[in-house]
Amino acid sequence: MSEDTEPEAGVTDSPLRGPTLSTSTSSFEALDPHDPNLSRLATSMFNKTAEYLYGELTSSLDDYRLIEEMNHVTTIKYNDMKNIASNVSKSLIELNSKYESIIPLLEQIDHLEDNVTKLEQAAYKLDAYSKRLEAKFKTLEKR
């Protein structure tokens, strides 16, 4: 309130602070009398506010702990995946090395397969020739 306005009905002046609603509700001076019910309500309000803020802070703390645990588990999983990938890479390098070492043997197998195929064709030709020769022999024998 400014000094130009009139105090409302029921408003009293505090000797130290000027116009107030009640000396018992707005007085914060150590020696001023105060309302015990208001003190109890204020204490209750501060306690409940403290409990609420504590709950909010512990909730946030729990969230951060959960995120920290998730990060920890994720780190372990990524390390496991890294180890698996490393082992797969080593195995692949080893298999490629083994494959490179057996390429000459595979080429020999291919060469042998070609020769066997040619030999098989020659055997079929020889069989067909021997059958024709036998047929001619039988025809000559009958005469």
The model carries a pTM of: 0.47
The residue-averaged pLDDT of 1-9 equals: 46
Residue-wise pLDDT tens digits, 66-84: 999 999 999 999 999 999 9
Residue 28: the pLDDT is: 53
- Percent of the chain topping pLDDT 70: 77
Residue 122 has pLDDT above 60, yes or no: yes
Percent residues over pLDDT 90 in the chain: 62
d(CA 44, CA 21): 22
Question: When comparing pLDDT for 23 and 34, which is higher?
Answer: 34
In this structure, what is the dihedral angle of CA atoms 128, 130, 132, 136, given to the nearest 10 degrees?
180
Pick the more confident residue, 10 or 138.
138
Measured CA distances, 39 to 11, 14, 17, 28, 49 (Å): 20, 19, 20, 11, 15
